[in-house]
Every structure is written in structure tokens, then in C-alpha cells.
Structure 1
Amino acid sequence: MVAQSASEIREATRATLLDYGVVAEGYAAGNMNHDVSQNIAALMAPLLAGTADRKAPLDILDVCCASGRDLLTFTQMGHKAVGLDGVPAFCQMARSLSGCEVWEQDLSALELPPERFDGIFANACLFHLPSAALPAALAQLRLALRPGGVLFVSNAHGFGEDKEGWTCGRTEQTRSYVCWLSEETWVATCTRAGFQLLDSYYRPPGKPRAQQPFLATVWRRPATS
């Protein structure tokens, strides 16, 4: 069943957060050494290249920061990072590991300060939002970026198709909601939200396309909007 109504969207996000929450410690441990340096570089490159008025330290929002692995990386790079996650256990872990401020918020009900960040890093998370909730979430992310700011997103994709609905969870008692969109649909969705596409690539690097389940895209909020 595709989640479309407000109540269905709330249930989709509630159940997905619970699915992550019950395995939070194991998930964090398993992903602590996962290499996302390619994605971090993709976010930072357009922020730091040829922008005399946008210098480090930059304000970075790490969406669905989990245990704080990437918050720590951004901080060690000299930037000012803020985390956001909907799983209470992840928020606690991230604060402890990184020392950064971490906001506990649901992706389907974001309330972000306007023009607060130079860059937003949304790695492997927005594909858990029902497609009906994507426009509102993208609007909030765009609002939170300063004009000319950059949004990075890495999503599990549909290999040329749009697929959406419930999938098995990480335990026998839980389930998760996924929205695997084609590249065409995802690009159209973000473009309608007012973003300009800067770059795109499939992950993990060096694999045949059939073995690259993630699509990474880099977007800019126009400087004049």
C-alpha cells in the first residue's frame, strides 16, 4: 500500500523510525567505518570552489545523522555541523560521539530555521519518505539553505522504475517504508522543488550499474531565490 494521506505518512515514518530504533546500536556499529568520502567531497566541492564570500568554517546540516559518524568528519574538517535524526537513540549517540548539536525531528514533519546552512548532507535517508511527503520535506530543506547553498542526497533508486511501499524490517516485529524512484522522477521532483542540479552519479563506485543501488545527486538553491 502506498502511503498518501497524512495518517498513512505518519504511520510510514513512525514504523520506519521504530525499525531503526530497535537495532540502533548494531546499525551504528555496522556503519561506523562505511566510506562515504565520495559523497562528502561531492557536497563540499561546489561550496568551496570559486566562492570568495563562502569560506570555512561552513554551517552544515547532517540529515539522518544516525550515530554521528559524518558529523564528526565535518567537524574535523573545520566546519560547524548540526545533526538531525528521528531516532532518539541515534540523537544521543551522535551528541556523545561528535559533540555537535543534534535535533530530534521526523523527516515528514521538518521544522527548520530559514537560511541557516551553507550545505545539507542527506545521505541514504530521503528514500524512506513516501513520495507524497517529498515536496514538503524538500521545501523545508531548500528553506534552510542560504541562497547559493548546496544539498547532497544519496537515495536507493528504482533502476529505471518508481517503486514504493512497505518492506520487511530489520527484525521480525518491525517493518520499513521505502520509495525507490527512477533517476528521471527524482530529478523532476527536486527540480520542481526549486533546486538546480549540479552533479549526479551512482554508488558504490567502480561497480557495474546493476550493482549500484544508490543514486547520488548534488543540488544548489539558486542565489537569487
Structure 2
Amino acid sequence: MWRVREEAATTLGIRLTKSATTSRRARSRCIGRLAERSASPIAACARRGHARSASAFASRAACPRRHPRLTLTDHDVTQNIAALLHHIEVEPPLTILDFDCGPGRDLKAFTTLGHCAVGLDGAERFVAMARDATGCDVWQQDFLHLDLPAAHFDGIFANAALFHVPSQALPRGLRQLHATLKPGGVLFSSNPRGTNQEGWSHGRYGVFHDLEAWRRYMADAGFVEIEHYYRPAGLPRERQPWLASVWRKPVA
């Protein structure tokens, strides 16, 4: 298996030293670099797709008469917001990271509830819209180049977000989200569920995890499961395409 990775490293232009082939830690670093290299072309295309979505949304939002149903509150995620807040065990106001915040719908919801919310999105257009709509700090970062403060947030809200991260890059990204949570902090995630298919759909990249695969990714990153449920609520399972889950960073 390592021979295959060594050959792949040569193909990608990564030079492995003798210590890299004998040290477990060095091997892990090299494997991580391989994963990030292989995810980079996908990520570049995904960023362009996300930017196109942001531009299209902004264009529709600029013409409310032609698109009267397009608002920042056109999709009810109050159940998901409540699930995150319910499991955070510190006194409010809370510091919340809205991961892949889009135009700011959920940032506005958190600030209305009295919390300190920070947005993060990879699309410049969405970042500008979210800042204008909410007055919150919004950081422009993408999932392969996160630069997050250590142990800073009480909670992370990743609603319809993490399934866009290529599977090769997901472990590293989840570890970074784990690191930016305070001990005892909580991460909420909602993804469209599937049987672990991965690829392009309507110009966006997606990975459609099943519950067991998602549990493995989260556990490997150091999270402990609190609960999971399927959405929309009140429907038969075959009509609940979304898998929502809540996770804690252990205190010790």
C-alpha cells in the first residue's frame, strides 16, 4: 500500500525522504499532502461553482418583483438552530461560527437571539451580502484553506455545508473545525444523505454520506455524537433526504 502512495507521490511531485518512508508521523503528513493535492482541482471547480451560485442569487435578489419568493428566510431551519443551541452548556451570549453562511440568513437568526455570530464563506459575493444584511464579521475562506482561531467558538453551525467538501479533504477540515471549538463546544451538521456517492450535480460538488460513514469521519476528527435526526420532520423516512447530526468536542 505504501508503495502505491510512494508512486503517487512521485507522480504529484512530492519527494519522499528516507525518514518519510520510515516514520509513521512523516507518512501521515505525506498522505495528507497527497489527499490535499488530489482534492485541489475539485476544490477549485467547486469554488467557481459556489461563486456562480452567489452571483445568481445576488442577481435574483436584486429583482424582487421578478423573484418575490426569494428572501433570506425562505427555508425554515429553526429546528436545526434549536438543536445546536440546546446542547451548548455555557451561558449565553454564545460565540457561533456559521460555516458556509451564504447571504447571511442564519447569521441574522443567531444575532436576533442575542448571540455573537461570525460568518464564513468562500464566495466574495456572499461574504459582502452577509456583511451588509447582518452587520456581522464574515470571513472569506474556503474549506481547503481554513485559518481559524484555536478554541474560540462555543458552537459551529454547518447547515447544508460540509457535504460540499471532497472526501479527500474532509478529515483535515473536520480536525480544523474541532480545533476552533472550545472544549465542550458543539458542532451541528446537516447533509443530504445517500450511499456515499461523490461527484458533480448541477454544477456543485457533493458527497452524499450515509450515517455510518459520517459517524466515522466525525469520530476520527475527535467528535462525540450527541444526537442525529432526519428532515423534514414528520414525514416518512423515504421523504426525509436530510441527515442532521449534533456533535461535541470533549472537555478532556
What TM-score do you get using the length of structure 1 for normalisation?
0.88
Q: Note if 1:192 corresponds to 2:225.
A: no
Residue 163 of structure 1 is matched in structure 2 by 197
Aligned partner of 1:210 among 224, 228, 238: 238
CA distance, structure 2, for counterparts of residue 33 and residue 14 of structure 1: 24
SS of the equivalent of 1:130 reads: coil
Residue 47 of structure 2 is matched in structure 1 by 14
Residue 42 of structure 1 is matched in structure 2 by 83
On the 8 A contact 2:39/2:168 being kept in 1, the answer is no
CA distance, structure 2, for counterparts of residue 103 and residue 152 of structure 1: 19
Is the alpha carbon distance of 1:12 and 1:187 closer, same or farther for their aligned partners in structure 2, counting shifts above 3 Å?
Answer: farther
Is the alpha carbon distance of 1:31 and 1:178 closer, same or farther for their aligned partners in structure 2, counting shifts above 3 Å?
Answer: farther
Cα drift, residue 30 of structure 1: 5.2
CA distance, structure 2, for counterparts of residue 190 and residue 19 of structure 1: 30
On the 8 A contact 1:16/1:128 being kept in 2, the answer is no
Greater relative contact order (Cα < 8 A, sep 6+): 1
Q: Which amino acid aligns with 1:117?
A: F
Cα drift, residue 31 of structure 1: 5.2
Is the helix fraction higher in 1 or 2? 2
On the 8 A contact 2:51/2:125 being kept in 1, the answer is no
Q: Note if 1:79 corresponds to 2:111.
A: no
CA distance, structure 2, for counterparts of residue 184 and residue 19 of structure 1: 32
Q: Which amino acid aligns with 1:204?
A: P
User: 1:126-156: CA deviations, max 9, x gaps?
Assistant: 1111111111110111011000000000001
CA distance, structure 2, for counterparts of residue 187 and residue 176 of structure 1: 24
After TM superposition, which residue ranges in structure 1, 4 or more long, deviate above 2 angstroms? 6-16, 24-33
On the 8 A contact 1:86/1:106 being kept in 2, the answer is yes
Q: Note if 1:178 corresponds to 2:206.
A: yes
Task: For structure 2, list consecutive stretches of 5 or more residues without a partner in the other structure.
Answer: 1-35, 62-68
On the 8 A contact 2:95/2:153 being kept in 1, the answer is yes
Is the strand fraction higher in 1 or 2? 1
On the 8 A contact 2:108/2:134 being kept in 1, the answer is yes
CA distance, structure 1, for counterparts of residue 134 and residue 54 of structure 2: 19
Percent identical pairs in the alignment equals: 48
SS of the equivalent of 1:216 reads: strand
On the 8 A contact 2:72/2:104 being kept in 1, the answer is no
Cα drift, residue 108 of structure 1: 2.2
CA distance, structure 1, for counterparts of residue 150 and residue 119 of structure 2: 16
Is the alpha carbon distance of 1:209 and 1:4 closer, same or farther for their aligned partners in structure 2, counting shifts above 3 Å?
Answer: farther
CA distance, structure 2, for counterparts of residue 86 and residue 198 of structure 1: 28
CA distance, structure 2, for counterparts of residue 155 and residue 149 of structure 1: 20
Q: Which amino acid aligns with 2:223?
A: F
User: 1:162-218: CA deviations, max 9, x gaps?
Assistant: 1001112xxxxxx21111011110111101110000010011111111111110000
CA distance, structure 2, for counterparts of residue 123 and residue 211 of structure 1: 19
Task: For structure 1, list consecutive stretches of 5 or more residues without a partner in the other structure.
Answer: 169-174
How many residues are matched? 209
| C-alpha RMSD of matched pairs (Å) | 1.8
